[in-house]
Amino acid sequence: MGAGVVKKQGGGGRGRRRGRVQPMAEINVTPFVDVMLVLLIIFMVAAPLLTVGVPVELPKTAAGALPADQEEPLTVTITAEGAVQIQTTQVERAALVTRLRAIAAERTSDRVFLRADGKVPYSVVMEIMGALNAGGFSNIGLVTDIGGPALDGDVASGN
């Protein structure tokens, strides 16, 4: 890294006696701040690329986010056409429960996130939630976008 500024003690230049040289004991934090800002920008650019990429138009609510787990969350998506996908793999509805049971046997968490397009009827969403429960997943989180109307009529601020 770099050395700090050197302080001299002693007389004002009279005689041959030199003053003691002491290194400055302060840390220059500017390089650390620069590195942290670069890392922050890298993570801000990379974070949106890590989500599962099935395009659905999620309904908006005023609810907050759920706490994160150590295990990668299982995501089940219902598209506007009614197709069901586990992560990014499309699954027929008839084979959904058996597929979910096989996945549940390999996982430690029973948490699953259900993403449904806003145009999907409520009955279809409830049918898939029943299949998730029958497949061994009882901790179901419904995924929505923030910024929708709250019960008091105000639009949520997104915080």
What is the CATH classification number for the domain harbouring 88?
3.30.420.270
Residue 148 lies in a domain: no
Residue 53 lies in a domain: no
Residue 35 lies in a domain: no
Residue 68 lies in a domain: no
More confident residue, 154 or 100: 100
- Chain centroid, CA 154 distance in Å: 26
Identify the domain containing residue 104 by its residue range.
Answer: 74-143
Residues 52-76 pLDDT 10s: 566 777 777 777 666 665 667 788 9
pLDDT at residue number 159: 46
Number of independent structural domains in the chain: 1
Residue 7 lies in a domain: no
Distance, in Å, from the CA atom of 40 to the CA atom of 43, rounded to the nearest integer, reads: 5
Q: What is the pTM of this model?
A: 0.53
Has residue 93 got a pLDDT over 70? Answer: yes
pLDDT at residue number 137: 85
Residue 119 lies in a domain: yes
Residues 106-157 pLDDT 10s: 888 888 889 888 888 888 889 988 998 888 888 888 888 777 777 776 655 5
Has residue 9 got a pLDDT over 60? Answer: no
Residue 43 lies in a domain: no
| DSSP structural state of residue 156 | P
Residues 14-46 pLDDT 10s: 555 566 777 777 888 888 999 999 999 998 888
Residue 20 lies in a domain: no
